[in-house]
């Protein structure tokens, strides 16, 4: 279950926090606000995406799936 939600400081995000704590939703989330567009805060998330993409590519190569689109020029064995 989600305990923490990390967002940038924007009006719609603060409104989302108000809705989630209202009597209609009753979520028990901890909201953390951080500055936007700061690469030092996004480092771990970007690493996670790279890991997921590489695992997908490895899976595609092991099953001989042909990629289409951006990576269609790569030969898959």
In this predicted model, what pLDDT tens digit does every residue of 8-64 receive, in sequence order? 887 888 888 888 888 888 788 899 888 776 666 667 777 888 888 888 888 877 777
The position carrying tokens 């967002």 is: 7
b (16+ CB within 10 A) / e for 1-40 = eeeeeeeeeeeeeeebbeeeeeeeeeeeeeeeeeeeeeee
Rounded to a whole number of angstroms, the distance between the first and last alpha carbons of the chain is 39
**Domain boundaries along the sequence of the chain:** 1-37, 38-77
pLDDT value at residue 19? 86
pLDDT value at residue 44? 72
What residues contact 57, with CB distance under 8 A and at least 6 apart?
Answer: 67, 71
Q: Give the H or E element holding residue 16.
A: helix 11-20
The pTM for the full model equals 0.43
């Amino acid at each position: 279950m989600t305990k923490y939600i990390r967002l940038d400081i924007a009006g719609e995000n603060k409104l989302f926090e108000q809705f989630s704590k209202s009597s209609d939703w009753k979520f028990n989330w901890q909201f953390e606000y951080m500055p936007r567009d700061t690469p030092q805060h996004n480092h771990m998330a970007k690493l996670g995406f790279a890991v997921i993409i590489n695992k997908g590519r490895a899976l595609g190569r092991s099953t001989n799936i042909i990629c289409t689109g951006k990576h269609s020029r790569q030969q898959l064995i």
